[in-house]
Amino acid sequence: MAARSHDGRGDDGQGHASDAPFPARPPDAAPTSDTAPAAPASGKSGGALALLALLPVALLVALISLFVVYGDELLGPAPVPPDALGKLDIERLWFRPEGVAVQVVNTGPAPLTVAQVIVNDALWEFAIEPGPAIPRLGRATIGIAYPWLEGEPVTVKVLTANGLAFLKTVPIAATTPEPSSSLLLLFALLGVLVGVLPVYLGLLWFPLVRRLDRAVLDFLLALTAGLLIFLGVDAVVEALELAGRVPSPFRGIGLVAIGVAGSILVLLGVSRRTIDAAAGRSEAERALALSFLISTGIGLHNFGEGLAIGAAYAVGELALGAFLVVGFTLHNITEGFGILTPIARHGTTLKNLLLLGLAAGGPTILGTWLGGFAYSDLWATLFLAIGAGAVFQVVYELARLTTSKGGSRIATPLGAAGVLTGMLLMYLTGLFVA
């Protein structure tokens, strides 16, 4: 919009002041009294800003103090006794040769005291660390010398001193794995089978993809976007399901939002330092940087996948077999294919291919270790959300890569077909691991 002069006549849009009645002010000149108010003295300004910042805080403190002192008189007696609002979440059960261990967390509004423990309808003696009195958001571990049987259901009921009861049932009791060299090796092998090898098998298509023409590569880039969209949505759904099991004070849905938004923002910053920096050097380096971003996003997703696999194995709910391994291989081989598509036209070294596969598949091993030995719904929710956000950010970078002066090559009939094909491919291969 053209600037207006004092007499209503506008600038000509070319930087000329035309016949303005006043001389033009240099751009770096200080504002005059008729164009901007004079700045206050710095000391006065600092004091006024401090007062403006502290006034709401002081009023808030006064309001809270008033409510603490006179709150009961203002609201009257509570409709239910405060003790009735107590809540104890049973987070996890461990099955060991000497008995059962139960981890609980007090998620209610007031402290609770554990008074009795019932296992399968029978009262049992117990030991509790650090003590029976559990403060709000405090944790305790209850040890019970219960002779549980492998494969049998176990129900634990915890009674508090004020008569509240909280229970958890494990349908199939199985020995909880303890960290050892043999189990570390077993979980690592599991991660390699379902996460690392499938990605490297997908990378073996690299010589074939390099011989394809531009139109086919655009279709494959769109297909990669479809694969990633499916993975991202799948991770969000899993995170939301787990969020429902997170104790309410820890806000599982909020964790999902933080994980998704946080990973997107962090990777956006990383991408500016990798892809955009590489843009000044060569297109091949930019494509390689995008492939590493795709590997990172898939790796974060596979970390969450490893968490779920390790946890399922730890509680005896994972039936390892040839069918499961074949299913994961079919499902994850498409991830390796998606990684190599951006670099197909330019080529790369064997070292880069090995690093790309490791970045995408390696986190599966870490996930199986963490899930098997120290699984937590809270952390699993957060990591799945981080994986989902990372995958969505990579889809954004793919869209940028395929956008030129003629518009996005994904936003074409061929591109749309590629996106849908990728999503359908993930859906069909996912049926083998459902």
Residues 212-246, buried b or exposed e (16+ Cβ, 10 A)? eeeeebbbbbbbbbbbbbbbbebbbebbbebbeeb
Q: What is the pLDDT of residues 302-331, one digit of tens each?
A: 887 787 777 777 665 555 555 556 666 666
Confidence of residue 101 (pLDDT cuts 50, 70, 90): very high
Q: Tell me the C-alpha distance between 274 and 296, whole Å.
A: 13
| Token pair listed for 126 | 């117990």
Q: Residue 198: what residue type?
A: P
Q: What is the pLDDT of residues 222-244, one digit of tens each?
A: 887 888 888 888 888 888 988 88
Instruction: Compute CA 87 distance to the chain's CA centroid, rounded to the nearest angstrom.
Output: 27
Q: Which of 84, 143, 88, 151 is nearest to 119 (CA)?
A: 143
Strands 139-144, 126-129: pairing kind: antiparallel
| Residue 420: CB atoms within 10 Å | 13
Residues in Cβ contact with 55 at an 8 Å cutoff, skipping those fewer than 6 apart? none
Q: What is the pLDDT of residues 268-296, one digit of tens each?
A: 877 777 656 655 667 778 788 888 888 88
The pTM of the full predicted model, rounded to 2 decimals, is 0.63
Over range 402-409, report the average pLDDT: 62
Give phi and psi for 9, each to the nearest 5. -85, 140
Q: Residue 224: what residue type?
A: T
Q: Which of 278, 295, 294 is nearest to 286 (CA)?
A: 278
**pLDDT value at position 126?**
92
Q: Which residue has the higher pLDDT, 141 or 345?
A: 141
List beta partners, residue 123.
118
The label of the residue with tokens 């009921």 reads: 157
Q: What is the pLDDT of residues 351-369, one digit of tens each?
A: 998 999 899 889 989 888 8
Q: Tell me the C-alpha distance between 207 and 79, whole Å.
A: 72
List beta partners, residue 408.
403
Q: Which residue has the higher pLDDT, 108 or 72?
A: 108
| Token pair listed for 157 | 């009921």
Contact status, residue 51 vs residue 65, Cβ threshold 8 Å: no
Give phi and psi for 109, each to the nearest 5. -80, -10
